[in-house]
Structure 1
């Protein structure tokens, strides 16, 4: 229930962030700067806050997520650019916590209670099926009801999100137990980052996993920004909530496929993800193809065009790949990332992701949308190549585990002493 409330608080906002900013009179460049603030905040502050979860507790980090995102929702009531910027910074911190603290708490609690590791695959696939599928669809339809049917305005989904986040926080405080990563008193934050960096550098599988995640999620978040202007290049009136719900239905289908694949002992996640990355790469080429094959309309306003409908099909295919990606990457992270620094390493992965998205959004007015989609397609194809390498070495034993790294660091200190 907690995870569903947490993810509902995020999904309710998704379809209306860009639209809300346009109703306040901001152009694509200014909106891009606001998005940059969010991803930059996730990279700088969010990485630090997310990494503190290993030392200070994952339950506290999840509560911090709820509080931070509620404050971000409140700022959406102001049309002032500076206030919205603060909201984006708070949202960036919350996003880092959402994609690290909850998963870290779940994995630690799972093993603490002695459950079978195979059950994690089922838990992840169900979480994505419900969270990134059913809850996302209902969130999109509910947001459409609030904004279009009830005419409560584009800020109403953010108010609804704050309510769900408050409910989730109440359940966390009343029913969750605390768990930690490496709670050693002698380890400060800098030491945690250093240890995580050494772990990534010394284990090719973890490094490949981080690169794959950054490439895919970077393309995914760029898509989140681009799909609205791509489907309404001439300010066409498009049903944001309904289209978003359609995307999430495709994502739910993808997570259902992933659950079947993960349940098969004969099917390796490292193998089938190569195909998924190639399909996702091809799906984001559709806006480029429609630009060449379909004569673009120059009429302002109106409904979604034929080219837009074709693009929606491609975007739904991409979202199905997203639905397969989430439980699959969670499964691989549970296999390869050491428990002692799970949150820290997961937030390390988000640094190149956020740098990439910030660069894209900073140059959003310098390049046409087709160029942006082409770049995302290339990155996804590169991810498939790296996934092929990971599949080739996935069965090899680690040369050094986390415990050995800590032991080696302890031995290095007296050697380096004067």
Structure 2
């Protein structure tokens, strides 16, 4: 493997280590032992859940191809997963507010374990059922766990600022270190030990089962709106009304959809972008490098949040930087001549893009704890899971359209579109900051008027 890959990985590792070891008092927040115990329990569960997710990633496409399915068949399986997340996931996520977030988290574990079991079958229908179950599980992963955490954190009376600590630590481990270790462990099971491409799915099921046991034994139940008067349709109406009546919530949903839509599109496009002429690139090592970049971003985010910097302010910069990084494939395609020779090592243009993609992944690492922080501030508790899954409807629809038309447009057009979306997210983030500041000023003025009223009968 070329020295270039080791240099990039080593530089990122050194920066992450320096950031973590060099934290000063300003970068740390004094907490209580009760909160630390609560945080560690959640981070453990979240890491186990993400292990179950990350272990599957490297071998999903490969397993399907080993069963003899072509690119079109595999594409339809992926579309089924995102479509399921959009349709059924929204309903199941809404039930979490009504029936309980702990139950929803357990449902996630069961759904994903069943999805893993279906990977043993080469039957297309069985695999399709597995993708549908996986889509439902994905919606719960990105809504029910966060909803449970926010509600439980508030119920126990912890400082609202401490939520940022849990978010940052969960993302640093679950979306960074755990992703790297899971990728290496999956490779060990499938390749080095010779258990085959289905082995990582069995390992994922085991980690999910362990996580489910921890949830069942140590988590208490909490709800959005536990009243008996609201059925599922009423929950949808409450969520829709909240989005329509509060510009901050609508803006937050649009920002999330634009960024995550671009992120998931990037997941499908980075391989052909770095190897347009079938260059020999170490996919697993590059994936680990991306995850290390994400760890760097989450480490930066923990510092920013600990210093109580305004999330709405610095995220404008993050979205702008991410937009520039994803326009790099367009620029390099124009300015850097590509070789017509098949195979070989990564090109100069590919090397530049790899550096840009690492920067984008660092932005992803900052995005996750920051968007979680904003959601905890703006989304009402009674319909938190429902609203969060509403946000995922345009995201999943967009990804389905991209997957369906992935061969219809040049890769540069796809990256250019993602870059435009990210610039739009930066603009909307600016608007969110303005609206938020106006709301705070209005609230403060009303409080001051209320205090003056007794003095002016």
Determine if the TM-score, normalized by the shorter chain, exceeds 0.5. yes
Which sits farther off after the overlay, 73-82 or 360-369? 73-82
* Greater Cα shift, 326-335 or 73-82: 73-82
Q: Compare CA radii of gyration and give the structure with the larger one.
A: 2
Relative to structure 1, the CA distance from residue 233 to residue 149 in structure 2 (aligned partners, 3 Å threshold; closer, same or farther) is farther
Instruction: Say if 1:289 and 1:65 are closer, same or farther in 2 by CA, change over 3 A.
Output: same
1:145-156 to 2 correspondences below 5 Å: 145-156=188-199
Of 309, 323, 334 in structure 1, the residue corresponding to residue 351 of structure 2 is 309
RMSD of equivalent CA atoms: 2.1
State the secondary structure of the residue aligned to 2:228: coil
Partners of 1:304 and 1:43 in 2: CA distance: 37
| Correspondence 1:129 to 2:197 | no
Which secondary structure does the structure 1 equivalent of 2:437 belong to?
coil
2:82 corresponds to? 39
Q: Secondary structure at the match of 2:416?
A: helix
User: Could you tell me which of 307, 330, 350 is aligned with 2:392?
Assistant: 350
CA-CA distance at 1:234 after TM superposition: 4.4
Shift of 1:23: 3.6
Is the Cα contact below 8 Å between 1:222 and 1:357 reproduced in 2? yes
Equivalent residue in structure 1 for 2:413, among 349, 371, 374 = 371
Q: Does 1:281 align with 2:323?
A: yes
Please state whether the residue corresponding to 1:394 is helix, strand or coil: helix
* 1:7-406 paired onto structure 2 within 5 Å: 7-265=50-308, 267-301=309-343, 304-397=346-439
- What displacement does 1:301 show? 4.9
For residues 313 and 382 of structure 1, the distance between their equivalents in structure 2, rounded to whole angstroms, comes to: 23
Q: 3-state SS of the aligned residue for 2:350?
A: helix
Query: What is the aligned length?
Result: 400
What do residues 272-295 of structure 1 show as CA deviations (whole Å, max 9, x unaligned)? 000100111111112222323344
Q: Supply the distance in 2 between the matched residues of 1:50 and 1:70 (Cα, whole angstroms).
A: 18
For 1:6 and 1:394, the matched residues in 2 are separated by 33
- Contact 1:143–1:241 under 8 Å retained in 2: no
SS in 1 for 2:438: coil
Unpaired runs of at least 5, structure 1: 402-418
1:323 is displaced (CA, Å) by 0.3
Flag structure 2 segments of 5+ consecutive residues without an equivalent: 1-43, 444-457
**Mapped partners of 1:382, 1:99: distance in 2:** 23
Query: Structure 1 stretch 116-125 or stretch 283-292: which is displaced more?
Result: 283-292
TM-score of the aligned structures, taking structure 1 as reference length: 0.91
Secondary structure of the 2:222 match is coil
Call closer, same or farther: CA 1:20–1:297 in 2, change over 3 Å.
Answer: farther
Specify the SS of the correspondent of 2:94: helix
